[in-house]
Amino acid sequence: MQRRILAWFQAHRRALPFRDDPDPWRVWVAEVMLQQTRVEAMLPRYREFVARFPDPATLAAAEEEAVLAMWSGLGYYARARALHRAARRLARGGGEIPRAAAALKELPGVGEYTAAAVASIAFGEAVAVVDGNVRRVLARLFAVPGAPGRAAFERRIRELADELMRAGGAADPGAWNQALMELGALVCLPKRPRCGECPAAGACRARAAGREADFPERAPRPAATVVSTTRGVVRDAEEGLLLVRRRESPLRGLLDFPGGPCRAGESPRRALAREASRRYRLELVPGRALPPFPHQIMHRKITVFAFEATFAGASPDRLPEGARWVRPDHPPGIAAGAIFRKVLRLLPAP
C-alpha cells in the first residue's frame, strides 16, 4: 500500500515551489502559510514573502509592519508575528534552523505539525506528520472510530502515523508525509472522496464496508457568533484616506479604517462615532452609507457597516499614534486586513 501511495505521489503531486528545492526556510514558511489557507491563495504571497525575506536573518532584521504587509491578504496574522519572533530568536542564537523536530518545537509558533513537516521534508528525520488531511486518510484506511479532536481518536491516528513511518516511510520521510497529505488534499476529500482514483482503495477498510463517508466522524460545529462592526472612510483635501493602527487582537498592528464593533441594539452610525472616539480620540460624523457586506472569521459571522465620514470639527492637528494618511492608489503595499480591502473596493473613484 505504501509503495502504491508513493508511486501515485510521484506521478500526481502538485508542482509546489518548495518541493523541488526543499530548503528548510522555504519549507517552514510554506507550512506556516498553509495553516488555515488554501494552496491557491497561499502561493502568490509565498513567492513574494520568500523573495523579500529569503532567510531567517533577513526576516529577523525587518520591522513588524513590513512583515505584516508582506503577509497581507492571508489572514491569521498571529502566524506572521510568531514566525517573526522565531526568526529573531534564531538570529540571537546564531541563525541556524534546528534540524530535529524536538528542537524546532521550542521556537515560537512551531507546533508538532510544523516541526514534523520541516524536520522530515527538509532534513529527512523519520517523524510522522499529522494534519487534517492525514487524519482523514488514516481514519478511512483503518476505519478509526471517533472524531478529530477527541483523545482516543487522536491517540489512534498518531499510533498509525508513527507505525507507517517506521514500516515504509522512513526510507524517505519527507516524500511519505507529503504523499499522505497530498492524497487527502486531492483524492480522499472530506465530502466526496474520489475512491476510483485512490492508490490505496484496495486496502481501505472504510471503502470495503461502503462507509467511506462515515470516517472520520464529524464533531458538532460550535454555533456561529453573529456580530456587526463599523468602519469610517475619511478623506483629506488631497483625497488621501485616514487609516489607524489597530491595537486589539487579531488585527493588532494592522492599518484599517477607524471604527469598531456595534453594541446590542446600537445603530451602526452611533457605533462608528462612539468607537472612533473611544479607541482613537477621533470625533467623526458618519455620512453616506456604503453597501453593508458579510465577513467571516472562523465561527464569527460579521456584518460590516461602512460610511463615508468627516471630522466633527476641524481636522485634528495631531493624529492618533500609528495613524496616517494614505493615497488610495498606495494601499497594496501596506499591512492591512481583509475588511479594509473590502471597504476599499466599495469606494467611488475620486
CA atoms of 1 and 227, how far apart (whole Å): 48
Residue spans per domain, the chain? 2-214, 225-346
297 strand-pairing partners? 300
Find how far residue 238's CA is from the centre of its chain: 36
- 285, 273 Cβ separation under 8 angstroms: yes
Q: Among candidates 71, 177, 54, which has minimal Cα distance to 121? A: 177
Contacts of 258 (CB under 8 A, 6+ apart): 231, 232, 234, 242, 244, 272, 275, 276, 279, 280, 282, 284
User: And the C-alpha cell for 298?
Assistant: 472562523
User: And the C-alpha cell for 259?
Assistant: 471604527
Detail the DSSP E strand segments found in the chain.
225-233, 241-245, 255-256, 284-289, 293-297, 300-311, 324-326
Helices (H), 93-242: 101-104, 112-123, 132-141, 151-164, 173-186, 205-208
- 74, 37 Cβ separation under 8 angstroms: yes
Question: Mapped to the 3 state alphabet, what secondary structure does 268-283 carry?
Answer: HHHHHHHHHHHHHCCC
User: And the C-alpha cell for 245?
Assistant: 493602527
- Superfamily (CATH H level) for 225-346: Nucleoside Triphosphate Pyrophosphohydrolase (3.90.79.10)
Q: Among candidates 349, 271, 263, which has minimal Cα distance to 306? A: 271
Q: What is the pLDDT of residue 89?
A: 97
Does 159 qualify as catalytic in the annotation? no
Q: What is the pLDDT along the chain (350 residues), one digit of tens a residue?
A: 999 999 999 999 999 988 877 899 999 999 999 988 889 989 999 999 999 999 999 999 999 999 999 998 888 899 999 999 999 999 998 889 999 999 999 999 999 999 999 999 999 999 999 999 999 999 999 999 999 999 999 999 999 999 999 998 889 999 999 999 999 999 999 999 999 999 999 999 999 999 999 999 998 888 889 999 999 999 986 768 999 999 887 778 899 999 999 999 999 999 999 999 999 999 999 999 999 999 998 888 999 999 999 999 888 888 888 899 988 776 667 888 889 999 999 987 66
pTM (two decimals): 0.88
Q: Among candidates 194, 220, 79, which has minimal Cα distance to 136? A: 194
CATH assignment of 2-214, given 3.10.180.10, 3.40.50.1110, 1.10.340.30, 3.30.70.260? 1.10.340.30
Q: What is the pLDDT of residue 332?
A: 61
Task: Provide Rg for the chain, Cα atoms.
Answer: 24
Catalytic residue among 31, 125, 182, 212: 31
- 91, 58 Cβ separation under 8 angstroms: no
CA atoms of 121 and 189, how far apart (whole Å): 23
Q: Biggest alpha carbon distance in the chain?
A: 74
